[in-house]
Amino acid sequence: MSSSLKISVIIPVYDEAETIRSCIANVQECCGENSEIIIVDGSADESTLSAVDDDGVMLLASPPGRAVQMNCGAQKAAGDILLFLHADTTLPPAAGSLVRKALSAPCATAGAFKLSFDAPSRTIKVIAFLADLRCRVERVPYGDQAIFISKSKFHELGGFPEIQLMEDVEFFQNIKRRRLEIIILKESISTSARRYLATGPLRCGLRNTFLRLLHLCGVKHATLKNMYRRREKQ
């Protein structure tokens, strides 16, 4: 893909006022001028949008739900490429060039970065290693790996399924069913380990694995979401 292609970075947020400015600065540095930033707030008070003081950033309000928010941002995107970024995830240098190059490969449909966390914990490093191994074998990255795809292909696929949990998993499973190529870059993003540290790294990792197994067994999305919320509060 040509370096002239514009990248739309879509950031779904919910109470991310403390992190959003540093996130915007990181995107601007790593994606360059030929990109746009779209922040989609799912909270009722739109507190994250209020914390943004950059007129060049598109600010949208949406009903809550990560899939709903990302689809909302994609509908407003002017770019040729969509990059979906969590507010607590940091892109690597020259991320824009890396994404364009990845999607220029023959038959490449979508991709993501390698996962890493911002904590020095040995347990968290092991979790990141295992997650990367799973991702490269299964070819199903998670949303915190900065998913990217051409806008035309995204809409052709129907966008993210608007479910309460595992929208990223089902999105890539849809791509795999069509036997389309998924690129996993060797360059890493750095995502916050705050949820792992709050819950306990091992406990959080086992919880995520357990929920994924239940998803594979066909457990309803609403049930999975309720289990996720319940365990987050424990």
- CATH at 139: 3.90.550.10
| Residue 15, both tokens | 């109470």
Residue 125 lies in a domain: yes
What is the domain count for the chain?
A: 1
pLDDT at 164: 80
Q: In the predicted model, is pLDDT for residue 233 greater than 70?
A: no
Residues 81 and 148: beta-carbon distance below 8 Å? yes
pLDDT tens digit sequence for 170-206 = 999 999 999 999 999 999 999 988 877 766 766 676 6
Q: In the predicted model, is pLDDT for residue 228 greater than 90?
A: no
pLDDT at 138: 87
Q: In the predicted model, is pLDDT for residue 215 greater than 70?
A: no
Residue 211 lies in a domain: no
Residue 204 lies in a domain: no
Q: Domain range for residue 158? A: 7-191
Query: What average pLDDT is seen over the chain?
Result: 88
Cβ-count burial of 4 within 10 angstroms (0-12 exposed, 13-18 middle, 19+ buried)?
A: exposed
Going by C-alpha positions, the residue among 82, 61, 76, 47 that lies closest to residue 12 is: 61
Residue 217 lies in a domain: no
Looking at per-residue confidence, does 161 or 136 come out higher? 161
Percent of the chain with pLDDT over 90: 65
pLDDT tens digit sequence for 31-59 = 998 999 999 999 989 899 999 999 999 99
Q: In the predicted model, is pLDDT for residue 1 greater than 60?
A: no
Question: Which DSSP helix (H) or strand (E) runs through 103?
Answer: helix 95-103
pLDDT at 83: 98
